[in-house]
Structure 1
């Protein structure tokens, strides 16, 4: 098989890249280890930054997002038993939209297949070859176990943190920055209407909690837990008891309970691999960087990466220019490190380490009170939260 760009991974990054390339008349083939059903049901991020929403609208992928997404014009910081609203739109003129990552994936897959794109699901044994040459190759087994090969001009590694793309780069050609946080998130998807119309970030002496939503009838809730915990440690009764305790406020808060549809445990880490390019292999999204979910940046960073990458590949494959490919990593990493810092700031301000001393907690409260009372501090948080302009 011959194509211009072989894309490994059919998540938001790989699918959007394929769509952007198609708009520029560039061929691509997508390989995905999971089934279509799996990737369309995999619940992940839900906050779309303003630049992400605008990009999806510009490239014709926002019809369902505009019809079903939930626009938010603020978020709430909950501490000291009170709510403190950060008015995102009033402070920045921009907003966010809550629309599940799996819904974006559904929209992208439908659009790519309608355009005749090649998406090969349930592939295995993927290997990348000759990455520093002009014609890199990808070998794999298809869903029937038949060995296949793709010859390409470029390979885009959009296969996430645990994918094959980043490990295909020699250790000597990459610098890795890794920070593991001393806590994890327990997330539950609940069949119940949200108890608040905006996201609530709660700092509590028992640990962090987040109240979010996916639809008007489905609530997304998170608890800070110990990284050594398992799902067996958290029966329904304990989950609801902690949520009620951590989300309580002095005036009362009626958290809506309902059947738990899904639960997962996620470690908290920051990770960056530099550079995001090795020869004709370009990394994008989680294959190159991970942020803790507190800042709601993961999927949005992937969207920014592939926008930059699509422009670079257009310059390379249509105009025979190499400058944008050569600057791709540096351009993306400036945004990545800003997002890393913002996510670290949000995580450090809101979570309680199990061994934190009273001094550290007082510093957290000081930062929260300053952010809630200072227009300048609130504007800085809001500007980063709604998303800085794409490059």
Structure 2
């Protein structure tokens, strides 16, 4: 098989890139090691920046997003007693949209066949070859038979554990990582949200987040030590803990119900450089991980794809090599700013084991400053809705 761009991974990054290239008549093939049902079964974030929704609008794959997505004009920080509202729309003129990553993936998958986007699912033993040459290729097994896909470029959109990043030689690679000493215990429940906007809470007992997937489905989180186990947290225990950490105003509006999913996700910050080596490009979680505080993971993947698709389209349409050469530096500049925001919000809203009374007072002073400072709120709002491309 031959194609212009081989895309590894059929998550949102790979699917978005594939659709953007096909819309410009550029041949591409997506190779995914999992089945479609597995890809759709991943429970992920649900807050979309304008960068992401603009790409869906550009593709015309936005019918369900526009009909079901909840436009949010702000969010709140809580300090245990009060809600400090950040008016993102008033401060920046922009809003975010609550629409699950699973739904974005479903929309992109459903549109693939009618738009001629080829996706090879359940491809085993995917390997990348000769990425530093002009003739890279990908090998994999499908239905027990070996396959080879020749391409002019390879886009690694296969997440942290995929093979793409490993194809970049260690001698040119740099890795930056911060592992956090807690995880997020999350619960999904078919109950109305306790608030019409997201709440990030810092309480003496720890962090909590009240979010939603729709007007009838809620997603809640608390931070827990990494030694905790999901089975030790009954629904009743988790609801009780949320009611304490979110504060009295939110607690008064919590609707309890049975969970339909619970899990614990570890938190870390991670960046890999460079994001281009020869004819191989990395995008999304293959190159960077952010803690979920601030909802930057999917949105960073979308901005990577925006840069990469423009670069590839420029190359194939106008013979422009400059954007190809500059992709890594351009993407990383935005990535590091988003990493900074997610890291700083994580530090502000969580209790770290090494922190003492002084650090706790610093958090409370910072929240009090934010509550009284339009400048501080504007800085948070600008980062939350997404920095410009």
Per the shorter chain, which TM-score range? over 0.9
After the TM superposition, which segments of 4 or more aligned residues of structure 1 sit over 6 Å from their partners? Answer: none
Q: Tell me how far 1:251 sits from its aligned partner.
A: 8.5
Which residues in structure 2 correspond to 1:145-160 (within 5 Å)?
145-160=144-159
Q: Give yes or no for the alignment of 1:39 onto 2:26.
A: no
Is the 2:243–2:251 contact (alpha carbons within 8 Å) kept by the matching residues of 1? no
Q: Tell me how far 1:168 sits from its aligned partner.
A: 1.5
2: CA distance between counterparts of 1:174 and 1:131?
15
2: CA distance between counterparts of 1:215 and 1:191?
9
* CA shift digits 1:63-117 (9 cap, x unpaired): 1101000110010111141111111101111100000001011111111211122
TM-score, with length taken from structure 2: 0.98
1: CA distance between counterparts of 2:121 and 2:372?
50
Match of 2:68 in 1: 68
Match of 1:338 in 2: 337
Query: Secondary structure at the residue paired with 1:333?
Result: helix
Distance of aligned partners of 1:252 and 1:32 in 2 relative to their CA distance in 1, 3 Å threshold: closer
Match of 1:8 in 2: 8
Distance of aligned partners of 1:51 and 1:14 in 2 relative to their CA distance in 1, 3 Å threshold: same
Which residues in structure 2 correspond to 1:190-269 (within 5 Å)?
190-249=189-248, 253-269=252-268
Q: Tell me how far 1:314 sits from its aligned partner.
A: 1.5
Which residues in structure 2 correspond to 1:242-321 (within 5 Å)?
242-249=241-248, 253-321=252-320
Is the 2:195–2:250 contact (alpha carbons within 8 Å) kept by the matching residues of 1? no
Query: Secondary structure at the residue paired with 2:206?
Result: coil
Match of 1:21 in 2: 21
Is the 1:275–1:329 contact (alpha carbons within 8 Å) kept by the matching residues of 2? yes
Q: Tell me how far 1:250 sits from its aligned partner.
A: 6.2
Query: Secondary structure at the residue paired with 1:208?
Result: strand
Q: Give yes or no for the alignment of 1:360 onto 2:356.
A: no
Q: Tell me how far 1:54 sits from its aligned partner.
A: 2.1
Q: Indicate the RMSD between aligned Cα atoms, in angstroms.
A: 1.2
- How many pairs align? 389
Q: Tell me how far 1:276 sits from its aligned partner.
A: 0.2
Match of 2:380 in 1: 381
2: CA distance between counterparts of 1:34 and 1:70?
30
2: CA distance between counterparts of 1:91 and 1:34?
42
* CA shift digits 1:249-286 (9 cap, x unpaired): 26962311111111111111000001101111100000
1: CA distance between counterparts of 2:235 and 2:145?
45
Match of 1:96 in 2: 96
1: CA distance between counterparts of 2:110 and 2:231?
37
TM-score, with length taken from structure 1: 0.97
Is the 2:22–2:116 contact (alpha carbons within 8 Å) kept by the matching residues of 1? no
1: CA distance between counterparts of 2:160 and 2:57?
28
2: CA distance between counterparts of 1:88 and 1:320?
40
2: CA distance between counterparts of 1:57 and 1:318?
22
Match of 2:119 in 1: 119
Is the 1:247–1:253 contact (alpha carbons within 8 Å) kept by the matching residues of 2? no
Runs of 5+ unmatched residues, structure 1 = none
